[in-house]
Structures are given as structure tokens and as C-alpha cells.
Structure 1
Amino acid sequence: MRKPSRLVSVVAIVSVFVMSLVWGAPPASAQRRPEMQILSDAETDHIIRKMARPIFQAAGIDPDSVTILLVNDASLNAFVAGGQNIFLHTGLIQSIDDVGQLLGVIAHETGHISGGHLVRGADAMENAFLSSLIGMGLGIVGGIASRNAGAGAAGVMLGQHLAERNLLSFSRSQEASADQAGLSFLEQSGMSAMGMLTFLQKLGVGDPLLNDRDAGYRLTHPLTRERIASVQAFVDHSRFANTPTPAAVNEDFRRIQAKLNGYLDPAGALRRYRADDRSAVARYGRAYAYFRRGDVKQATPLVDGLIAEDPRNPYLHEMKGDLALQTGRAPDAVAPYRKAVELAGSEAGSIRVSLAHALLEQHEPRLADEALKNLQIAAKTQAQSAFLWRLTAQAWSMKDNPGMLAYATAEEALARGDLPMAKFNAERAEKLLPAGSPGWIRSQDIRGQTGGRDAPK
């Protein structure tokens, strides 16, 4: 089981505005602010983690200890912060030409981790990211599925700019060192380093045509002609320079790229993935674009066709459930979600939350037990999700259990960063639950985490 990193704990307490691909977009007022939005999608996380696993292993890093997060930002950038946490901007995934370039970026960022740059530059890096979080303010609601994404939302404002400046603390020598380490990891994994080279060439050095969208990577990863020449020299002598990426890996990458394009830019995706393109990737991109537009009539046959061709793909069944749930047909969403959970196995954490949501939306107490079972399993890897705990509280309310309702509400408040409310409900749960029971013990832990904060009046 992948253990949550220190940064994820920080994110849980400070309550970063978490955005799941399967739920709707924030209101226009929120979209206008330069917020740092973290996208959560089971399929994207699974695919990137699977393709990056050999790189982490070559670096001597436990792959399950690395947290990969998607930042909803159109700029072409990636960075590491707060420990073994790799942040990839959606603009990076959307704009790169092939999966080899993404692997090159991940190898480079892994080079920073393995090189101890985060240790030597810990203060600067941690402060950079924390300044960004502080700029967001506390109490940002993370549950877009609740259709209340904008409640309490605050923009990053100066925090994001402070983070960008502080992240420049990685020196050019550290960047070159991370390049060399990353190249070594790719070589050990039998992967071509050509992607890293073409990515750096894509950005260029002193290119007058470089736009603001691409400049982010150059600001946080200082480029020099010497760096590019060094990578070129490595590629020239690599045994695997011309080794192609396996077709299945390319197909997986193209699918999550199409998914992001369809979700974040429906109009652009429909232009890119034309109706006469019958490839699975194009149909997937169109399906998500129609889904985001609320056009279920066009999206449904595309998803059904993809499932017919690839019935063992859990994420296609997940999307079918999403289509039903987000159009007010919760009962119809249950079967595809159950199938997705079955097929995804240990990777089904966020899908189990969606299944529980579909069950609870029917307001039938008889379904509360199945919802709770899925939420309890999902909490092993999704405990930082305020929305998970909100659903858990709803299920315990349906079962008329005030003690567990108070406990779940305390967990939700803790995940949102509302420490006074977390303490208030944890104390209430301790009074209502049997002494020594799991909920009672965890409530004591929550009360301890909230320190001496005063409870709400």
C-alpha cells in the first residue's frame, strides 16, 4: 500500500482545492482566480505511475513512496517539492509530442530526488510550496462532487508567485546533475533518452518565439546550451537511443492525453479528435469532450463502443458510471461502478468513492452498508479526501449512528483544514462511541492533532 507522504499530509491539513476529473468544473468566479488546482484521476495516476515505475526502481526509490500529482495549469512545467512528490502540469502532458518526453521529464525530476537536492535545498523548496498553500488561505472545500466547489475558495494570489521565485533555488549545476542522473535511470531501464533531448530542444535556449506558457519550465529549470549538448552526447553513445517505446505504453499515454484534452478543452478536443477519426484514442477524447459539455446523447454510444472493444478496462466502466451519476441517474451508475471496482482491484480507491456516492444519492438506508464498505476500503489510500469523509458521515447518518457521524464529520473537517470543527466533533465522538473502539481511538488522535484550538461556539 502506498503510504501518504508528508506533503500529502500538509495538503490534507491546509486543504488544497482538489479537483477530480469525474466531477464538474468550479464556478466561473473561481476559474478566474490563479488557484493551484490538483486534479485527481484514477486512470491517469495509474498509467503515469506504471510507466515511471522502472525509473524509480533504477534510482533505488520505492515506487510506492513517490506521489505524483497533476496541477491544473496550462503552462509547460514540472517540479518536485516537499519530499518524494512530483508535480506535473496538465499543460506539460497536453503539449508534449510523445511519451518519451514525459519519461524524460520524470527521470529528470527523479534525479533531483535521488541526488539529495531536496535535502540540501529543503528549506527553500518546502517554503516555496508552503508559501503557495498559504496564499490559498484555509478552508478551501475539496469536494467538487458536492457541487459546492466554490465555497470558501480563495486564490493563490501572491503565494503562487512567491513559490515560482523560490523554486529557482535549484542551481544550474543541480539541473545538470539531475539530467545526468535521469539519463542513467533511463539507460538502466532500457529506455531511450531521446525524449529528454527532444523535450529540451523543444524548449530551446534563447528562443525568441518562446511564449509565456513554455517559459515556466525554463524559469524553474534553468536551461543552458551546455546542458542540451551534454544530453545530446549521452544519446549519441546510448545503447538504447533508438529503442522505441512499446506500443502499449504509447497508447496508454495517448489515451490519458485525450482524456485531459477532452476534459479541460472540450471545443479544442472536438477539433483535434475529428468525427471521422475512428481510433480508440480519438473516440475517447470526443467522449470526454461531449461529457464535459453535458451531451450525454453523443457521449454514451462512444463509451459503449469502447467498452465493447475493451471490456476489461475499468476506467471505461468508470466513465459510464460518471455519465449516469452526473446526469441525475444514480441507480444506473451503480452497475458500471461496481464493474470498474472489480476490474481495478487495488487501484480502485477513487472509483469506490464514486460507487459510494451513487449508492448514497438514492437515499435508501439499505444501501448504506455497501457504501460504507467501499468508503472504508478507499480510506486506506484516500484518507486526505474531505469528500470521502462527507459521504461517510452521510452513510452513518442514514444508519442513525450519531457517534460515527460525529467521528466522520471530524475527519472531514480535518481534511478541509478546519481544526476547530475537527476538535469539536472529535470530542463529541469520544463521548458517544464505546471507549476503545476504532472510531473512539481515532477521535482521540484527531483531538490531539488539533492542539489547543478552541471549538466553535
Structure 2
Amino acid sequence: MMIGLVLSWTAPAHAQRRELQLLSDAETEHIIREMVRPIFEAAGIVPEAVNIVLVNDKTINAFVAGGQNIFIHTGLLLQADNAGQLIGVIAHETGHIAGGHLVRGNEAMENAFLSSLIGLGLGVVGGLASGNAGAGAAGLMLGQHLAERNFLSFSRAQESSADQAGLSYLEQSKMSAQGMLTFLEKLGADEPVFTDRDVGYRLTHPLTRERIDTVRNFVQRSRFTDRPVPAKAEDGFERIQAKLLAFLDPLAALRRYRPEDRSIVARYGRAYAYFRQGDVRNALPLADGLIAEEPRNAFFHEMKGDLMLQTGRPTEALAPFRKAIELAPDSAPIRVSLAHALLERNDPRNADEAIRNLQVASRTQGRSAFLWRLMAQAYSLKGDQGMLAYATAEEALARGDRAMARVHAERAEKLLPAGSPGWIRAQDIRGLAGPGPGEKRN
């Protein structure tokens, strides 16, 4: 259930346009981050400082941009054979981050814009299955030259350097590099032939026989080549594959995860596929069964909450969302979903709980337009006109509507007590919005 939000950006005049869709899912990002946490730590990178962003694109690709942002195409996640291959790819991309392989010149401005998109949190307010007006996916119109190269196209020397760094991080983490090797071999089997599926990775990651041979030689020498990927990581990989397939192609998921397969992965895939089809009768028993089997899995509770919320039963969504937050208190997307469910009841008594959760979520998603839209709704229920104006100013700023941001910020300044946090932030927003009509910028 993708949103229809499209953020337009003026590409160079000679460039054609195409849309880049960013997906967000708290569980997928959590599983991937935990899977590669030792890699980030070996590289001297704080794992929580890395943004993992999903790109809705069938090509096999991953790239870094805007600093510590790793973009992973859905095609890569669905076509990877196992967790080891995904770990190998991210080890390589971590090499690019640690090596400072960033764009230069005019591309730096484009890269900064992409980084700001991550900060805006346009698609970072809910799970894949969420139908929230501000959740799921954000569309970004970019120049064709950027989209085809996926923002970065490193030299062969940089690719080799990233390989070497990635291999080093794997070794320091006592993890096998076999996945990196099999992934490169998979792409390099018919190197002269480009297909729609693999062209993305080939363009941004030029394959050479020398690179593959270098990785193979490392694998032959490594002490950890035969060490299997931890079972938890492999299971997590299979779960996010099932969830992603169900989100993108519910019918394909139902064909793959047949009713006779009673594994958790298969039931999870079927549950999300039914959810995507609006089939509550089949989805709900599967969700309840998964919760019964893993009662401390926050994301199973989140799934049930999403199912209730998106099928018009916000009151029944409250308990599973609250339980999910109890189990994963740092998950901002779940807090936003709980606030959404609370506000759907249109009861002023729910406003304070919604505001508390949105305030916590704003620490990491403070530039999400949807979050501030909910915040404005909560203050409206309370009849707090000053904070309503302030929250509306934040929403307008997040949407890039500076004129409206300024209008509401000025109103908030007039209504809120001088020196209060909202009043101070309203002044900041007015400054960020720029001069009003007839005013000159200092």
C-alpha cells in the first residue's frame, strides 16, 4: 500500500526523469543492522548511525550516498541466495563508507539532497504493510543520469579497495567471506551480458576477473571460511525476504509459501500476503499464531496492530501496538503507528498518549511530515491552538512548503508563551522558511 507522495526535484535540463521509490520497514532495517553489526564495529562505525534504506527496484544493487546511508535494492534482497551474500555486499559497501568514497563537485550537491531526503523521513513512519498516508514508500523524481548510476559510480580502484576493506572487516568479525565470493561469482558468471536484473550492480560496481580472483584467494586463506552464518541471521534474512515478497507481489508469496509449509517464515509470508490483499479472515489467525509462538517478537505484535488499523479497527490495534512498544521501546515507527491508531478514535482523552509517543519518535524522525500531521491532529483534539500552529508549521517545513511553514510559525509565535520550547522552535522555523513577501534575506 504505497503512498502517492511524490517529491519533485529539478534535474539538469538534459536529463530525463524517472521515479525512485524508497521503502521503509522497521523490522527489515533492524534485522539487517543486527546481522552486520560486527562489520560496522570492525570498521569503527557506530551501527545506529548507519541508515539502511530500501529502494523499490528490481535490479540487483546496493550503494552508499550522503555519508553513512546504505541503499539496498529490493531486487538484491529477493535475489540473494542467503544471509552470507547480503552480509558480503554490506561489508563491501561499508568499505566505501570507511574509505570516504564520496562524490565530488556538482554531484556533492545532489548527494546532499539525497541525504536530506533521509532526514525528512518521508517514508520512514511505518512498516511495509502500513497504509498510512505518510508511510510505506516515498517517490523522488531524479535525473536519469543519477538513477542509472544509482548516485555513485566508483572506479575500479575504489571497488577493489572496498573489497579489501570488506574482507578485512569480515575477518576481524570472525565471519566467512564465502558469501561475498558467491555473490560476485553469481554476477560475474556471464559478465559481458547485461540483464535487467543485474545491470544496476554491474554499472555501479564494475566486475573484473581480478576482483573475483582476489576474493577467492582470500577465502582460501581465511581461518573462518567454513564458519556458517549464525542461525539467527539466516532466519532473519528469510523472514525479511518473505515479508518483502509479500509486500511487492502477494500472489507470488502465496505460491512460494504454501499452506502445507508450517514454518514461521512461510506463515509470516502468507500472513503479509493476505494482509496486502485485504484478506483479514486468513491473515488474522496467522498473525495470532505467530504471536503465540513468539510472544516477545515486537514485530509480530506490530503486524497485528497494522492489520487492525488498516482494516478500520483502531481500538483493536491499540493493545498489539502497545505490546510492540513495550518489547521494542526504541522503535519510532511503531510509536507513530500507535499514535495514528489513538487519533483515529477521535477521542480527546487519547491525545496526550499520542503526543507522548510522537515526541519520542520525533527524536529520530523529527522531519517526518506524517508525524507532524498526527501531532497537529492531537493538539487540535486538545484545543491547543498555539501548539497546533507549531505542529502545522513543522509539517509544512517537512513537506518543503516554506511559505506555509512561515505562516504557521508566525501564528505559533503569537499564541505560545514567549520562551517556551514551541515558541523558540517556531522562531527557528520562521528563519529556515526564509523571508516573507516584501522582506529581504539578510
When normalised by structure 2's length, the TM-score is: 0.89
Matched residue type, 1:98:
N
Corresponding residue for 1:96? Answer: 80
Q: Note the 1:45-60 alignment, pairs <5 A.
A: 45-60=29-44
Matched residue type, 2:401:
D
What whole-Å deviation, never above 9, does each CA across 1:241-282 have from its counterpart, x for those lacking one?
110011111111111111101111101111111111110000
1:126 matched to 2:94? The reply is no
Cα contact 1:94–1:261 (8 A) shared by 2: yes
1:307 matched to 2:279? The reply is no
Corresponding residue for 1:443? Answer: 426
Q: Which runs of 5+ in 1 are unaligned?
A: 1-23
Q: Out of 255, 271, 285, which is 1:287 matched to?
A: 271
Q: Out of 348, 360, 376, which is 2:343 matched to?
A: 360
Distance 1:421 1:102 in 2: 43
1:270 matched to 2:247? The reply is no
Shift of 1:417: 1.1
What whole-Å deviation, never above 9, does each CA across 1:62-94 have from its counterpart, x for those lacking one?
222211111111211110011111111111111
Q: Which runs of 5+ in 2 are unaligned?
A: 8-16
Q: Aligned Cα RMSD in Å?
A: 2.7
Cα contact 1:128–1:164 (8 A) shared by 2: no
Distance 1:310 1:141 in 2: 28
Distance 1:222 1:288 in 2: 36
Q: Note the 1:57-456 alignment, pairs <5 A.
A: 57-118=41-102, 121-123=103-105, 125-129=107-111, 145-147=131-133, 156=141, 159-165=143-149, 167=151, 169-204=153-188, 206-207=190-191, 210-346=194-330, 348-452=331-435, 454=437
Cα contact 1:205–1:223 (8 A) shared by 2: no
Distance 2:123 2:259 in 1: 38
Shift of 1:122: 3.5
Percent of matched pairs sharing the same residue: 65
Distance 2:250 2:51 in 1: 28
Distance 2:57 2:436 in 1: 35
Q: Please give the secondary structure, in 1, of the residue aligned with 2:419.
A: coil
Matched residue type, 1:370:
E
Distance 2:30 2:124 in 1: 21
Cα contact 1:77–1:92 (8 A) shared by 2: yes
Cα contact 1:262–1:285 (8 A) shared by 2: yes
Shift of 1:26: 4.0
Q: Please give the secondary structure, in 2, of the residue aligned with 1:35.
A: strand
Corresponding residue for 1:11? Answer: none
Matched residue type, 1:249:
A
Matched residue type, 2:296:
R
Q: Please give the secondary structure, in 2, of the residue aligned with 1:45.
A: helix
Describe the shift of the 1:29–1:393 C-alpha distance in structure 2 as closer, same or farther (beyond 3 A): closer
Distance 1:61 1:282 in 2: 34
Distance 1:62 1:155 in 2: 28
Cα contact 2:369–2:399 (8 A) shared by 1: yes
Cα contact 2:305–2:316 (8 A) shared by 1: yes
Matched residue type, 2:2:
A
Distance 1:399 1:244 in 2: 55
Distance 2:5 2:364 in 1: 31
Aligned residue pairs, count = 421
Shift of 1:167: 4.0
Describe the shift of the 1:168–1:326 C-alpha distance in structure 2 as closer, same or farther (beyond 3 A): closer
Distance 2:419 2:259 in 1: 60
Matched residue type, 1:309:
E
Cα contact 1:128–1:163 (8 A) shared by 2: no
**Larger % of helix: which?**
1
Q: Please give the secondary structure, in 1, of the residue aligned with 2:143.
A: helix
Describe the shift of the 1:54–1:154 C-alpha distance in structure 2 as closer, same or farther (beyond 3 A): closer
